[in-house]
Amino acid sequence: MTELSFQYMLEVNDQPDHANQFASLIFDGHCQFTAENKGFSTGLELLSPSYCYEQIYSSSPIIKTATDKLVTAHSDHFLWAISWVDESAFSNLVEATEFVYSQLLNLVADAGFPYLVRVWNYFERINQEEAGLERYKQFCIGRFNAFRLSGLDEESFPAACALGHSGGQLVVYLLAAKTRPIHFENPNQQSAYFYPSVYGPRSPSFARASAVAIDDAHSLVFVSGTASVTGHKTVHSYDVENQLIVTFNNLDALEQQIQHLLDYPCSLTPRLLKVYIRHATDLDQIKHAVEQRYPEVSAVYLKADICRADLMLEIDGIWSLLRT
């Protein structure tokens, strides 16, 4: 086992190995830390399979810390951290997001893991308008503000996703590293941080993918939430079948771009997928298409609202990159 590995535990009898575990993530529609199995509920609801924990492991010893609604775990080279807050303690989502991100960015800097590799963001009512501005756009302002205050610019933006759940709290968790990852953009899509102002006062602050070295021959590539977007525009609004085609094409284009930009020959293989689905009634259609496209890849299907109201699904995941 490398110092960093991810896997899905799909059987009830599978028992997490707490000793060398960064985290255990649960998809049960709640936002909470579960002491019994040391798991963190993400707020997302699992549609398929019927049971799943996501385990993040290390081959080296883990040091863990916990304060009120902030938990961290780190090995020699990687740090994982999660924060979740009740929005009612803040005046708006902008303020809540900026608080959480500032807290996490200060943490990783102080702990000596200054490079963000991947961030997962989940909160409720993502497409709802409040005080004249969609909540996703409010979130983007808060995240941008925290990045700016920390000195983080677009060249250091990590891979990320932002989905809506029904769990009631803002949940942010991240992976940071001591060594700088490589960030990638998708040739089919405009860089999110250069989106025009129609998408909000502050553009989304993330890369399309981020690769971090595990050893001399092996890297993990974290692919951001990918959907039916070409350039900066949604294509095939509300159309599940055609959105699947564009999403797959975007994932293929990103894979090809990564291999093209690296200065050494390599193979790139998908290992784990998360498939976010707006309407549970679309599960069978989406699952069938994903299984046909990625027949050997472990995938979980989660009920979630996508960051644009006309998007019906989004896919992210982890790819294995090997020098050849």
Tens digit of each residue's pLDDT (9 = 90 or more) over 286-310: 999 999 999 999 999 999 999 999 9
For residue 159, what are its two tokens? 């891979």
Q: How many Å apart are CA 186 and CA 232, to the nearest integer?
A: 11
Look at residue 31 in the predicted model and tell me its pLDDT. Answer: 82
| Residue corresponding to tokens 């989905």 | 163
Least confident of 16-20, 83-87, 233-237, 261-265: 16-20
**Are the C-beta atoms of residues 232 and 172 closer than 8 Å to each other?**
no
Distance CA 184, CA 209 (A): 5
Structure-token match 């290390």, residue found = 58
pLDDT one-digit tens code per residue, 94-137 = 999 999 999 999 999 999 999 999 999 999 999 999 999 999 99
pLDDT confidence band for 34 (50 / 70 / 90): low
Per-residue model confidence as pLDDT tens digits over 125-174: 999 999 999 999 999 999 999 999 999 999 999 999 999 998 889 999 99
Q: Running DSSP on this structure, what letter comes out for residue 97?
A: H
Active site residues: 314
Number of structural domains found in the chain:
1
What token pair was written down for 173?
Answer: 């968790």
Query: Which pTM was predicted?
Result: 0.96
Q: How far is CA 258 from CA 119, 185, 265, 318, in A?
A: 20, 8, 11, 13
Confidence band of 1 (pLDDT split at 50, 70, 90): very low
- What average pLDDT does range 86-96 have in this prediction? 96
* CA 19 centroid distance within chain: 24
Q: How many CA atoms lie within 13 A of 285 on its CB side?
A: 15
Q: CATH number for the domain including 9?
A: 3.30.1330.40
* First-residue to last-residue Cα distance in the chain: 20
Q: Which helix (H) or strand (E) holds 82?
A: strand 78-85
What is the mean predicted confidence (pLDDT) over 272-284?
Answer: 98
Q: What is the pLDDT of residues 190-246, one digit of tens each?
A: 999 999 999 999 999 999 999 999 988 999 999 999 999 999 999 999 999 999 999
What span, in angstroms and rounded, lies between the C-alpha atoms of 193 and 270? 25
- Give me the pLDDT at residue 237, please: 98
Domain of 289 in residue numbering reads as 5-323
Reply yes or no on whether the pLDDT at 11 is more than 80: no
**For position 143, what pLDDT does the model report?**
98
Strands 39-42 and 233-234 come out as unpaired
Share of the chain above pLDDT 90, in %: 83
Q: Which residue has the higher pLDDT, 7 or 36?
A: 7
For position 287, what pLDDT does the model report?
Answer: 98
